[in-house]
Amino acid sequence: MNAALWLVLVVPFASAAHSAEGEAAGWVHTALTRAADAAGEISDPFHRAQAFAEIADTHAATGGLDAAREHLRLSAGAANQVDNDALASWARHDIALSFVRADDIAAAETMAATLRDIRMRDAVFGHIVEAQRTAQDVPGALAAARRISDPAEQGQSLRAIALLQANTGDLDGALATARSIVHAGVSAQALGDMAGAFAKDGDFEHAHQLAARVRNAQRRDRAFADVAAAEAEAGNIKGALTTVERVEDKLARAEALARIAAARANYGAPSEARGMLAEGIATVKRTRARSYRKGEVLIEIARAQLAIRDGAAATEALSLALANLAGVQNAARLALISRIMPLQAKAGDFGGALKTALRADDPSLRPLLVRDLATAQAEAGDVAGAVAAARGLDDESAAAAFFGILHAQLKANDVAGMLVSIDAAMRTVRAIRGTELRAAALGGLAAVQVAAGDSEAASRTFDEALAAAAAAEPGRQRSAAYARIADAVANRGR
């Protein structure tokens, strides 16, 4: 993962004082040229291949597809020189993914064909499916999905394609794609998705039929919950409550009631909505279930409470969800934290949200959460509070918070506020120990200074970023530092 991922929201150059055709584009070119020079000096072919692939990714992210493909050819040449089969395969896997990002699907497929490891090959075709879906190329996505060997992985890709077809109005095609899935578990998920899609389209009879045919009990409950939510959103609260009775699992029913409650409030019955949500909370408290599942339901209840503008109740529900974290580990724990924190911020509980963000023990996720929280707090009008919170954090998290504040100030065209925040952010960024991250953050600050109209200071900051990168270890680290400066300047963190 790019160490500077939290820089992604720094400055959209469409609104900067200089366009991407001007000073910023020149900086990107300078940084990438130096990155390529440093990559060319790497003696180890595996790391040289990785460096050129990263440079290609940055070119692709900034619109330079021809340059990206040229660097990928250099990367592929280096990969061919790797004498360790496992490392060579890993390099080719990464190059294939980079070809996808460079919008060269044919080259990605050719590279994937050289991979002996089926899981790696499947991963490449999974990314190709996603790229084709993004381009709304259903035939291309289906063709790529059929080349995935693992039934579950293929099924998830087909499920995603079916959802695209449903969202674009091709319900018959979506249903045909869903029914073509051979993996039983994923097939149940997809048919449940289709029940929800037909319900959203107003075909409730067909939706009920599809939901009833889902063989997996958990997925069937989810399907009926989706149908009930669609009925509620259409104004048929009575029908929605009748459908909920077909949901067997107690927690799934509580979650469905939360979605109905939000719709009920929209139709002028907030007291009934609050009653449904209170019933949901009571159900969670008295039901024995996995901590993660309880957390999921409480989050959905809190989301509904925010929808009916009951921030205090939402904060209480989120506190209950946090109490369940003790029984959740690893990725599942991080997933809950990532969902709870934004809702706490939306409820105005910025202090609680910060505590939640800091409970994320993943060094890549924590700055992202802190950045998003600082953005939300500043956009809510509490810039002083966001700044005060940032000052109490470690260097990397503090820098991420200041970039979040700057993003909000840029959106608000608060140039005076930006200049003050840039000064505070500069002190924090200069204290970052990691060379690559410090260089990238300086590049990002240069971009913000351009947006604030201070080109002279921006040029000095950009030169400082280049100097930081030049001080990195020669070869792989130096090349990466330059590439990440370009990435940050262009506001296209990966």
What is the domain range of residue 345? Answer: 249-362
pLDDT at residue 1, as a whole number = 39
What is the per-residue pLDDT across 155-179, written as a single tens digit (0 to 9) for each? Answer: 999 999 999 999 999 999 999 999 9
Identify the CATH number of the domain in which residue 257 sits: 1.25.40.10
Are residue 373 and residue 392 in the same domain, yes or no? yes
Total domains in the chain come to 2
Are residue 382 and residue 462 in the same domain, yes or no? yes
User: Within 13 Å and on the Cβ side, how many CA atoms surround 249?
Assistant: 21
Residue 235, both tokens: 């104004």
Are residue 336 and residue 392 in the same domain, yes or no? no
The answer as to whether 175 is a domain residue is no
Does residue 24 surpass a pLDDT of 80? Answer: no
pLDDT at residue 16, as a whole number = 40
pLDDT at residue 493, as a whole number = 30
Does residue 482 surpass a pLDDT of 80? Answer: yes
Across all residues in the chain, what is the average pLDDT? 92
What is the per-residue pLDDT across 331-375, written as a single tens digit (0 to 9) for each? Answer: 999 999 999 999 999 999 999 999 999 999 998 899 999 999 999
The answer as to whether 163 is a domain residue is no
Residue 34, both tokens: 């130096």
Are residue 379 and residue 342 in the same domain, yes or no? no
Contact 154, 145 (CB under 8 A): yes
DSSP character string of 268-318? T-HHHHHHHHHHHHHHHHH----HHHHHHHHHHHHHHHHHTT-HHHHHHHH
pLDDT at residue 20, as a whole number = 39
Query: Residue 13 gets which letter from DSSP?
Result: G
pLDDT at residue 15, as a whole number = 39
13-17, 141-145, 317-321, 410-414: least confidently modelled range? 13-17
Does residue 4 surpass a pLDDT of 50? Answer: yes
Are residue 376 and residue 342 in the same domain, yes or no? no
Whole-structure pTM value: 0.88
The answer as to whether 77 is a domain residue is no
* CA distances from residue 29 to 55, 270, 482 in whole angstroms, order as listed: 11, 56, 10
Are residue 358 and residue 386 in the same domain, yes or no? no
pLDDT at residue 494, as a whole number = 26
Are residue 355 and residue 375 in the same domain, yes or no? no
C-alpha closest to that of 195 among 207, 206, 186, 182: 207
Are residue 324 and residue 376 in the same domain, yes or no? no
The answer as to whether 14 is a domain residue is yes
Q: Which helix or strand (DSSP H or E) is residue 401 part of?
A: helix 395-411
Residue 357, both tokens: 């963000």
- Examine the fold and report which residue of 342, 362, 382 is the final residue of a domain before the chain moves on: 362
19-33, 62-76, 287-301: least confidently modelled range? 19-33
Are residue 374 and residue 494 in the same domain, yes or no? yes
- Examine the fold and report which residue of 362, 387, 404 is the final residue of a domain before the chain moves on: 362
Are residue 272 and residue 325 in the same domain, yes or no? yes
The answer as to whether 272 is a domain residue is yes
The answer as to whether 350 is a domain residue is yes
Does residue 492 surpass a pLDDT of 60? Answer: no
The answer as to whether 47 is a domain residue is no
C-alpha closest to that of 278 among 246, 250, 221, 317: 317
Q: How confident is the model at residue 262 (pLDDT cuts 50, 70, 90)?
A: confident
Q: Three-state SS for 471?
A: coil
pLDDT at residue 331, as a whole number = 95
Contact 487, 4 (CB under 8 A): yes
Q: How confident is the model at residue 451 (pLDDT cuts 50, 70, 90)?
A: confident
pLDDT at residue 13, as a whole number = 37
- Examine the fold and report which residue of 314, 341, 362 is the final residue of a domain before the chain moves on: 362
C-alpha closest to that of 369 among 379, 380, 355, 383: 355
Mean pLDDT calculated for residue range 143-148? 97
Q: Which residues of 439-461 are buried (b: 16+ CB within 10 A; e: fewer)?
A: bbbbbbbbbbbbbbebeebbeeb
Does residue 50 surpass a pLDDT of 80? Answer: yes
Are residue 375 and residue 436 in the same domain, yes or no? yes
Give dist(CA 337, CA 65) in Å, integer. Answer: 37
Are residue 492 and residue 395 in the same domain, yes or no? yes
What is the per-residue pLDDT across 88-142, written as a single tens digit (0 to 9) for each? Answer: 999 999 999 999 999 999 999 999 999 999 999 999 999 999 999 999 999 999 9
Contact 100, 141 (CB under 8 A): no
The answer as to whether 343 is a domain residue is yes
Query: Residue 22 gets which letter from DSSP?
Result: T
Does residue 9 surpass a pLDDT of 60? Answer: no
- At position 39, the amino acid (one-letter code) is A
